[in-house]
Amino acid sequence: MIMSVVCCHSAHAQDVSVREKLEGCVSSLDITPASVDSTAVADSVAWSKKNWVSQLIENGFRIKQPGINYPKFPRFCLKVYEWGDRTFNSYDKSYVQGTGKNWKLFAKSDNWANSYFMLFDSDSQLHMMSDLNADIGGYLCFMAVKVGYMFNVNELMTHTKSKRRSFDFNFTCALFSGNISKSSNDGGVTIKRFGDYMGGKTISVPLENVSTDQFSVDMYYFFNHRKYSQAAAYSYSKYQLKPAGTWLAGVAFNNQSIRLDFESLPQEMMEFLPSLSKKYNFHYTDYNLLGGYAHNWVPRPRRWLINLTVLPSIGYKHSFEDATDGRRDMFSTNLRLMTSVVYNHRSLFVSLLGRVDAFVYYTKDYTFINSFESFGLNVGMRF
């Protein structure tokens, strides 16, 4: 009997000890209703009940975030976008990564000029160049959509006679890049060389009767699209982590209308005009095949990037009846060079850009080359 009581007492003592230990563990875990953040739960419930537009605004337009109350059509559009993103914008993540930001705000400075060069069979040359014009402005970008405005500093500050109107559209993904541009320039040209006038030396004579209208469309494919990103160099929406290059191929359409009128020049200059024509009208359309190479150098991943893109093209040139040489079918060859140096610091970026587009026109008496040169600076931030 005594032994039995002792055993029961011992078991009771063990139960108390175990219970105390368990209570201590539970206490240390602090598993109590008070540990739940009631404010966070309330905020989450309130957010889930909001309109989908309000949800997008609050989350910074992260369209893929789960729990957004999309209606049927916006949800369908999202699925189409996700399919397109997987199909056209997939990279090897060891080479290319996204910035994690959908928005960009940046200021842009663009300096540009047009050049005109004529080489005659007699080895005489005409060289003309427009004034160096400076355009400045700003852009706000959301993913592939960009809205902004540029204005000409020359017209604002110096009231230059040259006028330029331009429109540019660009879409770049992992697989390809598409571009549409339209521009027109009037006046503001200086003659740099005029045959044997002044012994063939460099001169500076203004020529206002010059105008250029241009419209072009091109699209080209990146063969090494898994490892190379054009967007990292020119759209600032990707990071190139390792050096990579790619061959390019595509098509281009270009329409040019250029008018040169030398009749306003002094008579002593006209005697050295290496041609019987005092007016030239170049009006033609090119249908070309593009081919070239582009390379991204990465001195420091996520920080520094240097790009060089070379795009020569060949094809068919059709000259219209109102051109100086009349209606003709000719061989076409053009060239585009682009370069970019990008510096990234967290959400900030700075980029130096350069570009040359050259177009060649052949006849039996002369060769005419007109080109568009530009260099600029972009400073902005992602958010």
DSSP per position, 65-121: -TT----HHHHHHHHHHHHHHHHHS---TTTEEE-S--EEEEEEEEEEEEEEEEEET
Residue 29's pLDDT band (cuts 50, 70, 90): very low
Most confident of 20-24, 51-55, 112-116, 269-273: 112-116
**Which residue range(s) make up the domain with 231?**
106-382
173 within domain boundaries: yes
**Which amino acid makes up residue 92?**
D
316 within domain boundaries: yes
Residue 191's pLDDT band (cuts 50, 70, 90): very high
Interatomic CA distance for residues 188 and 278, integer angstroms: 19
CA distances 145 to 142, 226, 259, Å, are 5, 23, 35
Q: Is the pLDDT at 118 greater than 60, yes or no?
A: yes
End-to-end CA distance of the chain: 81
60: left (phi over 0), alpha (psi -120 to 50) or beta: left
Q: Is the pLDDT at 159 greater than 70, yes or no?
A: no
In this structure, the answer to whether residues 197 and 230 fall within a common structural domain is yes
**Structure tokens belonging to residue 78:** 């999202």
Name the nearest CA neighbour of 126 among 173, 191, 32, 30. 191
> CB neighbours (10 Å) of residue 192?
18
Return the pLDDT at 374.
94
- Angle in degrees, CA 181, 87, 226, rounded to 5: 85
Mean pLDDT on 139-155: 80
In this structure, the answer to whether residues 177 and 230 fall within a common structural domain is yes
209 within domain boundaries: yes
Residue 161's pLDDT band (cuts 50, 70, 90): low
29 within domain boundaries: no
In this structure, the answer to whether residues 73 and 120 fall within a common structural domain is no
| pTM: predicted TM-score of the whole model, two decimal places | 0.79
28 within domain boundaries: no
In this structure, the answer to whether residues 153 and 54 fall within a common structural domain is no
Taking a C-beta distance cutoff of 8 angstroms, is the pair 294, 307 a contact?
yes
**Structure tokens belonging to residue 223:** 């063969």
Interatomic CA distance for residues 192 and 203, integer angstroms: 5
H or E stretch covering 44? helix 38-48
Mean pLDDT on 22-36: 46
**Structure tokens belonging to residue 234:** 């020119």
Taking a C-beta distance cutoff of 8 angstroms, is the pair 343, 335 a contact?
no
Residue 240's pLDDT band (cuts 50, 70, 90): very high
% of the chain with per-residue pLDDT over 70: 87
Taking a C-beta distance cutoff of 8 angstroms, is the pair 324, 277 a contact?
yes
In this structure, the answer to whether residues 181 and 261 fall within a common structural domain is yes
70 within domain boundaries: yes
Least confident interval from 5-9, 121-125, 329-333, 356-360: 5-9
By the 10 Å C-beta count (0-12 exposed, 13-18 middle, 19+ buried), 229 is classed as: buried
More confident residue, 28 or 226: 226
What is the pairing mode between strands 304-319 and 279-300?
Answer: antiparallel
Return the pLDDT at 116.
96
How many domains does the structure of the chain reveal? 2
Q: Is the pLDDT at 367 greater than 90, yes or no?
A: yes
100 within domain boundaries: no
Mean pLDDT on 241-257: 97
Name the nearest CA neighbour of 252 among 307, 223, 282, 292. 292
In this structure, the answer to whether residues 79 and 225 fall within a common structural domain is no
Give the model confidence (pLDDT) of 42-95 as tens digits.
777 777 878 888 888 888 777 888 888 898 898 888 888 788 778 888 999 999
What is the pairing mode between strands 189-194 and 125-130?
Answer: antiparallel
Interatomic CA distance for residues 277 and 184, integer angstroms: 24
As a dihedral over the C-alpha atoms of residue 219, residue 223, residue 225, residue 231, rounded to 10 degrees, the angle is -40
H or E stretch covering 56? helix 52-58
Token pair 């281009």 is found at: 252
- Angle in degrees, CA 361, 367, 370, rounded to 5: 55
Name the nearest CA neighbour of 96 among 172, 171, 174. 174
376 within domain boundaries: yes
CATH of the domain at 346: 2.40.128
In this structure, the answer to whether residues 57 and 143 fall within a common structural domain is no
Give the model confidence (pLDDT) of 310-327 as tens digits.
999 999 999 999 998 888
In this structure, the answer to whether residues 168 and 236 fall within a common structural domain is yes
Return the pLDDT at 37.
63
H or E stretch covering 366? strand 366-382
Return the pLDDT at 16.
42
The DSSP secondary-structure symbol of 55 reads H
**Which amino acid makes up residue 132?**
L
In this structure, the answer to whether residues 192 and 65 fall within a common structural domain is no
346: left (phi over 0), alpha (psi -120 to 50) or beta: left
By the 10 Å C-beta count (0-12 exposed, 13-18 middle, 19+ buried), 23 is classed as: exposed
% of the chain with per-residue pLDDT over 90: 53
**Structure tokens belonging to residue 345:** 């610091």
Mean pLDDT on 139-168: 75
